[in-house]
């Protein structure tokens, strides 16, 4: 007998950006050009790899320290936290949350990023953690800078952090981007604008004075829903 926890609700496709969004040029090149191939019915019940605390380093969640060599990274320190929830609003416990981002100058530690902005020798821009029993995660990091990306004339990406998550099953895999409230570049960004309007706010974090630590860092809350009608939109 199939247990209720193995039943997945259908995705709300109307809340996600299309695979091909012409305003985002890269999506035209990488989007599927042939019909999708249905997976076997029982594949949806296969569990994803199990991640344990032994696989994580004690500083993996702290991007202000996990790559420090000769000092602290430059930029505005922030705290990003929130809950990971399933389609019924229940906490997703002990699941891996991974993030990656540009540094405060808007540059990634990647050979493909040749933006004329400085690299920070004390900032890698990547971290990971496991959610607790309430489904909560927490990262310490530096607020990422905007950067030009060549998609169109004078194109700049808004400040954002990439998130990658696995839920309990293959069907609840999610890759998304977290944006910051009040960013003027959101109105000009074809990746953000490619998401249906009614679902865009699900990708914008909330400033939280309760999460903010006095004299240390501003705090932002960003809850993530892995599936169902209120799922956090996937990136285009």
- For the chain, strand residue ranges (E) read 77-85, 96-100, 126-130, 136-142, 147-148, 156-157, 160-165, 174-179, 206-213, 217-221, 224-225
Asked if 157 is an active-site residue, the reply is yes
Give the active site residue among 16, 107, 157, 202.
Answer: 157
Catalytic site includes residue 220: no
Kindly name the residue from 21, 83, 107, 147 that is annotated as catalytic.
Answer: 147
Q: Which tokens go with 165?
A: 């998550």
Catalytic annotation, pick one of 21, 160, 202, 227: 160
Single out the residue of 194, 187, 176 nearest to residue 234, CA to CA.
176
Residue in the structure block whose two tokens are 């004078």:
154
Through-space distance between the first and last CA atoms of the chain, rounded to whole angstroms? 37
Q: How far apart are CA 16 and CA 13, in angstroms?
A: 6
Q: Is 147 a catalytic residue?
A: yes
Catalytic residue among 61, 162, 202, 227: 162
Q: Do strands 96-100 and 126-130 pair parallel, antiparallel, or not at all (unpaired)?
A: antiparallel
- For residue 26, what is the enclosing H or E element? helix 25-30
Selected catalytic residue, list 108, 137, 169, 179: 108
179 tagged catalytic? no
The residues carrying an active-site annotation are 108, 147, 157, 160, 162
């Amino acid at each position: 007998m199939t247990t209720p926890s193995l039943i997945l609700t259908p995705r709300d496709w109307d809340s996600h950006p299309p695979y091909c969004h012409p305003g985002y040029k890269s999506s035209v090149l990488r989007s599927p050009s042939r019909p999708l191939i249905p997976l076997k019915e029982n594949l949806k019940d296969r569990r994803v790899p199990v991640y344990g605390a032994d696989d994580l380093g004690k500083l993996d969640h702290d991007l202000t320290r996990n790559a420090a060599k000769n000092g602290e990274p430059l930029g505005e320190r922030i705290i990003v936290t929130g809950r990971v929830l399933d389609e019924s609003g229940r906490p997703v416990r002990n699941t891996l949350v991974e993030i990656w981002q540009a540094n405060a100058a808007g540059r990634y530690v990647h050979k493909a990023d040749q933006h004329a902005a400085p690299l920070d020798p004390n900032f890698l821009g990547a971290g990971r953690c496991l959610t607790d029993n309430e489904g909560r995660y927490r990262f310490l990091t530096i607020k990422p800078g905007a950067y030009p990306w060549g998609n169109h004339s004078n194109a700049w990406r808004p400040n954002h952090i990439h998130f990658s998550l696995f839920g309990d099953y293959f069907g609840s895999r999610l890759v998304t981007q977290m944006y910051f409230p009040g960013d003027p570049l959101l109105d000009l960004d074809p990746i953000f604008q490619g998401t249906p309007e009614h679902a865009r706010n699900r990708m914008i974090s909330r400033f939280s004075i309760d999460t903010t630590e006095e004299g240390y860092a501003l705090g932002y809350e960003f809850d993530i829903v892995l599936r169902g009608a209120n799922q956090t939109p996937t990136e285009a």
